[in-house]
Amino acid sequence: MARPVWSGVITFGLVTVPVRMYSATEDHTTHFHQLQRGTDDRVRNKRVNERTGKDVGYDDIVKGYEISDGEYVTVEPEELQDIAPGKSQVIDVSGFVAADEVDPVHYVRAYYLSPGGEQYHKPYELLRAALATTGRTGIATFVMHSKEYLVALRAGEDVLALHTLHWADEIRDPREELPELPERERTGSRELRTAQQLVESMSTTFRPQDYHDTYEERVRALIEAKAKGERITPEEGPPEATNVVDLSEALNRSIERARARGGGRGGGTARRGGTGRSGARSGSRGAGRSGSRGAGRSGAGGSSRAGSRERPREGRRKSAPKKTSTGRGGPPLEELSKDELYRRATDRGVKGRSRMTREQLAEALGASKKAA
């Protein structure tokens, strides 16, 4: 059971709701120690006087702010405590705004709020339900660890969520920070209409559980492989940038591929109808790259079905090399992206998949299908 990181009350109008706050996220990053090369000796950081080279004890360290080159104003911890906001236990809601008014760039970190006790379940749920039904987000401030935060209070399905926000002066203006930005695309241009069609053909439902950190998996696979004295296959490099001259062709081909593989929305709808796993699975990794898993089952229209059936026949006419069918009326395994192949290998529990090349993944999936 998680421990609360803060406790206090939410106030809005004349209503006060006691709550406890818990972190909503956790870090799954693999953490390394620093070692001296060629040894197992740990490397430690030490506090050293830059001028004398001697160690400095923690109690002898004060904060300093440089006001000019080499000249500092020193501040004692007690002085900072004297001017810090008083220990506050109030999330003071100043107003409620439309949820889409808060630009995502402002969001910093998420927390869950729970009622402060069983007797406070009623006012807690009333606030949650009111936010959910009105589509509003509460904007508030509160103090935690001697620091004041701007926060957004949102309604989840069963819980109130609190998001710390960046202050306005912490947000950079892209027009001032970026070296260049393109002119706006002319409304109604052929390229824009084609790009819109591509976006629609790849539309899907967001299911965060369908995504996973493949880089972190490969980091752990690298560690395991090195511990066994094995080597791991390097990843393929990134694709080349699309030539502006070939942009329209690339967009059209992308639409055809998305339709042939069921697209995003079509593939998801088919599986929600009960023909496979979760319908939104189609939006996992394929939504932005290689299309859905349910190629050929899409309910997005007859052209999608036709496209997904024709490609295997074309492969058989060429006959060399022989294509390995997905077994679902979709494109051969050899035509799928490495990302899509890896996802399918994960679903089927193919061992050693993190060290396989694209061709090896296709071969392993074909072999697992025959074995099944």
End-to-end C-alpha distance for the chain, whole angstroms: 41
* HEC profile of 337-348: CHHHHHHHHHHH
Per-residue pLDDT, 52: 94
Preceding amide of 321 cis, omega within 30: yes
Per-residue confidence band for 361, with pLDDT thresholds at 50, 70 and 90: confident
Q: What percent of the chain has pLDDT above 70?
A: 77
What is the residue whose two structure tokens read 């004890």?
A: 57
Per-residue pLDDT, 292: 38
Per-residue pLDDT, 81: 78
pLDDT at position 266 over 60: no
Q: What number is the average pLDDT over the span 362-370?
A: 82
| DSSP state at residue 63 | E
> How deeply is 263 buried, as exposed, middle or buried, from its count of CB atoms within 10 A (0-12, 13-18, 19+)?
buried
Q: What number is the average pLDDT over the span 347-368?
A: 79
How far, CA to CA in Å, does 215 sit from each of 161, 224, 234, 318? 29, 14, 12, 36
Q: What number is the average pLDDT over the span 210-220?
A: 87
What's phi and psi for 297, nearest 5 deg? -105, 0
| Largest Cα–Cα separation, the chain | 81
Q: From 337, 333, 338, select the one nearest 356 (Cα to Cα).
A: 338
On average, the pLDDT of the chain sits at 78
Report the distance separating Cα 56 and Cα 48, nearest Å: 6
Per-residue pLDDT, 333: 81
Q: What number is the average pLDDT over the span 302-306?
A: 38
pLDDT at position 211 over 70: yes
Under 8 Å between Cβ of 289 and 340: yes
- Range of weakest confidence among 14-28, 45-59, 92-106, 197-211: 197-211
Q: What number is the average pLDDT over the span 348-368?
A: 79
pTM over 0.75: no
